C-alpha cells in the first residue's frame, strides 16, 4: 500500500514534471546542478513525509488501544461499583461550601424501600441540621488529603442502623464517601461488652479465687479473692509461676493433669492441693480445691489456663478434727471399762465393744445377729421400749434406766444403761448410743 502511495505521489507531482522539462531544454551545467539540488530536496521531503505518516499511524493505533483500555477499565469499575453493597457518594466542595452530592449506583441503590431510605438519609446528612458536622469531616479529609474513618447512626422506621464511613479524597474539591452497614457488628460488640462486664463483675466479686496462667505456668491475671487465699499481692504473683507457690509434694500430680489437658485426654481437672504462704509464719500451708481448664484461641490452639480456687482449709480442719475425734472415740470404745454399743432405731446391734461382750457373754459376731430386745428380760422389755420412745421424742428428762440383761449362760445381769439418740446434720435420728455399767 505504501508503494502505491509513493507511485501515485510521483505520477501526480507537477514540480517534478516541470524540473524534468527544464532539464531537457537546458543542458548547461548550472541548470543541471539546480535540478540535482531540487531532486535531493524532493527526496528528503518524501522521506520526512513517510516518517510523519508512520508516526501518525502509531499514534492512531496507540490512541485506539488507550480508548479500548479505558472503555474496559470503565466497564470493570462500573461492574465493581454496582456489585458493592456499600453506600457510595461523591461529595464536591466549592469555597469551603457544599457544591454537590452524587449517589453512585451500587447494588444497595437497587434494594428494597428501607435500603433506598437509608441511602437518601445518608445524602440528606449534608442538607439538614447535621450538615455542618459532616461537612467538617469532608473538609478535613480534603485539607489533609488523608482517608478519614468514623461511625454514624441512622433511624430507619423502627430500627436503628449503624454505618462505618470512610472519606477518601479523589481531588482537591471532591471526596468519595463509602458507608457500610455495621449494625450486626455493633450488636455483636454490645453483646461482647456486656459479656465482658459480667465476667469482670464475677471475676472481681467472686467468693472464689480465679486465675489465668500462661502455657508455661506464669500467672497472667488473678482476682482479689485469689490473692487473699494464697496470701500474695497481685504484682508479686505476676512475676512467678503456680509451681513457685505449690507444695512440692503436690506439683507432680498436677503436672500429670496438665499434660492430659494438652493431649486432650481430659477437658478439665479438679484436685485438692496446698499453696505455700511464705510470708505467713502461723499458717504456711493453705489447702484449696482447684479446678482448671485449658482455653483455646479462635484457631483451636491452646492459649492459656483458667483456674478456680476454693479455700477448703476449714473443711480440712474439720476433717482432721473429725478424724481425731473418731480415733479418740475408737480408743475409748475399745478400751473402756464400761459396755458400749450402738443399735438401730429398730433395735438391731450395729457395733459393740469388748467390755459389752464380756458383760453379756456373747461374741461380737453373735450380738450383731441379735437385737437388744433379744437379751432383755420380759419384765423390763415394755418399760425399756417406752423409755427409749420417750428419749427419741424428747419427752424424757432422764437418760438412763436400770434393767436386767440375759447372759448367754442364762444368768440375769443387773445393769444401768445410759441411752442417747444420735442425729444427722438435719436433726433426723439415726441410731441409739448406749453405755452399760454393771
pLDDT (tens digit per residue) in 175-221: 988 888 888 888 888 888 888 888 788 777 788 999 999 999 999 99
Contact 355, 339 (CB under 8 A): yes
pLDDT confidence bin for 2, thresholds 50/70/90: very low
Place of cell 457373754: 361
Read off the pLDDT of each residue in 260-279 and give the average, rounded to a whole number. Answer: 91
Phi-psi region of 361 (alpha: psi -120 to 50; beta: other; left: phi over 0): left
Using the CB atoms, write b or e for 56-78: b if 16+ within 10 Å: eeeeeeeeeeeeeeeeeeeeeee
Q: Which residues, other chains included, contact 247 with Cβ-Cβ below 8 Å and sequence gap of 6+? A: 273, 274, 275, 276, 285
Read off the pLDDT of each residue in 92-112 and give the average, rounded to a whole number. Answer: 73
- The DSSP output letter for 263 is T
Q: How far apart are CA 406 and CA 360, in angstroms?
A: 7
Contact 397, 410 (CB under 8 A): no
pLDDT number for residue 81: 54
Distant-in-sequence contacts of 47-51, Cβ < 8 A, 24+ apart: 50/2
pLDDT confidence bin for 65, thresholds 50/70/90: confident
Please tell me which residue, 117 or 75, carries the higher pLDDT value. 117
Range list of H helices, 176-311 = 183-205, 224-230, 234-237, 248-262
Element spanning 46, H or E:
helix 29-83
Share of the chain above pLDDT 90, in %: 41
Predicted confidence (pLDDT) at residue 371 exceeds the cutoff of 50: yes
Read off the pLDDT of each residue in 269-289 and give the average, rounded to a whole number. Answer: 85
Contact 424, 430 (CB under 8 A): yes
Predicted confidence (pLDDT) at residue 5 exceeds the cutoff of 50: no
Tens of pLDDT, residue by residue over 400-434, are 899 999 999 999 999 999 999 988 888 899 999 99
pLDDT number for residue 283: 66
- The DSSP output letter for 347 is S
Q: Which residues, other chains included, contact 326 with Cβ-Cβ below 8 Å and sequence gap of 6+? A: none
Contact 240, 234 (CB under 8 A): no
Predicted confidence (pLDDT) at residue 317 exceeds the cutoff of 80: no
Contact 226, 238 (CB under 8 A): no
pLDDT confidence bin for 8, thresholds 50/70/90: very low
pLDDT confidence bin for 74, thresholds 50/70/90: low
Please tell me which residue, 410 or 279, carries the higher pLDDT value. 410
Q: How far apart are CA 419 and CA 432, in angstroms?
A: 7
Q: Which residues, other chains included, contact 347 with Cβ-Cβ below 8 Å and sequence gap of 6+? A: 371, 372, 373
Please tell me which residue, 33 or 252, carries the higher pLDDT value. 252
Please tell me which residue, 260 or 399, carries the higher pLDDT value. 260
The three cell numbers locating residue 237: 504473683
How high does pLDDT run on average in the chain? Answer: 84
Q: How far apart are CA 106 and CA 109, in angstroms?
A: 5
Predicted confidence (pLDDT) at residue 154 exceeds the cutoff of 60: yes
Amino acid at each position: 500500500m505504501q508503494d502505491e502511495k509513493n507511485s501515485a505521489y510521483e505520477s501526480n507531482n507537477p514540480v517534478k514534471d516541470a524540473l524534468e522539462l527544464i532539464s531537457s531544454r537546458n543542458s548547461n551545467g548550472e541548470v543541471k546542478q539546480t535540478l540535482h539540488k531540487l531532486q535531493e530536496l524532493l527526496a528528503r521531503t518524501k522521506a520526512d513525509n513517510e516518517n510523519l505518516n508512520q508516526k501518525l499511524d502509531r499514534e492512531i493505533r496507540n490512541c485506539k488501544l488507550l480508548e479500548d483500555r479505558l472503555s474496559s477499565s470503565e466497564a470493570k469499575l462500573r461492574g465493581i461499583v454496582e456489585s458493592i453493597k456499600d453506600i457510595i457518594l461523591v461529595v464536591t466542595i466549592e469555597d469551603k461550601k457544599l457544591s454537590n452530592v452524587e449517589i453512585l449506583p451500587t447494588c444497595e441503590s437497587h434494594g428494597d424501600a428501607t435500603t433506598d431510605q437509608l441511602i437518601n438519609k445518608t445524602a440528606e446528612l449534608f442538607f439538614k441540621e447535621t450538615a455542618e458536622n459532616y461537612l467538617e469531616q469532608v473538609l478535613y479529609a480534603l485539607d489533609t488529603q488523608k482517608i478519614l474513618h468514623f461511625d454514624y447512626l441512622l433511624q430507619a422506621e423502627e430500627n436503628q442502623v449503624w454505618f462505618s464511613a470512610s472519606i477518601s479524597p479523589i481531588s482537591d474539591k471532591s471526596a468519595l464517601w463509602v458507608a457500610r452497614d455495621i449494625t450486626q457488628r455493633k450488636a455483636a460488640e454490645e453483646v461482647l461488652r456486656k459479656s465482658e462486664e459480667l465476667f469482670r463483675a464475677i471475676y472481681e466479686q467472686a467468693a472464689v479465687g480465679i486465675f489465668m496462667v500462661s502455657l508455661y505456668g506464669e500467672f497472667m491475671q488473678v482476682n482479689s479473692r485469689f490473692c487473699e487465699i494464697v496470701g500474695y499481692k497481685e504484682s508479686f504473683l505476676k512475676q512467678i509461676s503456680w509451681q513457685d507457690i505449690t507444695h512440692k509434694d503436690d506439683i507432680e500430680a498436677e503436672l500429670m493433669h496438665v499434660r492430659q489437658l494438652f493431649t486432650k485426654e481430659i477437658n478439665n481437672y479438679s484436685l485438692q492441693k496446698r499453696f505455700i504462704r511464705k510470708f505467713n509464719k502461723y499458717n504456711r500451708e493453705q489447702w484449696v480445691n482447684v479446678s482448671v481448664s485449658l482455653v483455646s484461641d479462635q484457631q483451636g490452639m491452646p492459649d492459656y489456663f483458667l483456674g478456680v480456687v476454693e479455700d477448703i482449709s476449714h473443711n480440712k480442719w474439720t476433717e482432721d478434727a473429725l478424724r481425731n475425734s473418731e480415733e479418740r472415740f475408737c480408743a475409748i470404745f475399745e478400751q473402756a471399762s464400761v459396755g458400749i454399743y450402738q443399735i438401730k432405731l429398730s433395735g438391731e446391734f450395729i457395733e459393740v465393744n469388748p467390755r459389752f461382750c464380756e458383760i453379756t457373754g456373747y461374741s461380737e459376731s453373735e450380738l450383731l445377729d441379735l437385737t437388744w430386745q433379744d437379751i432383755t428380760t420380759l419384765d423390763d422389755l415394755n418399760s425399756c421400749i417406752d423409755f427409749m420412745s420417750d428419749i427419741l421424742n424428747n419427752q424424757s428428762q432422764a437418760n438412763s434406766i436400770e434393767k436386767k440383761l440375759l447372759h448367754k449362760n442364762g444368768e440375769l445381769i443387773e445393769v444401768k444403761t445410759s441411752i442417747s439418740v444420735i442425729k444427722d446434720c438435719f436433726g433426723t435420728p439415726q441410731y441409739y448410743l448406749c453405755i452399760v455399767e454393771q
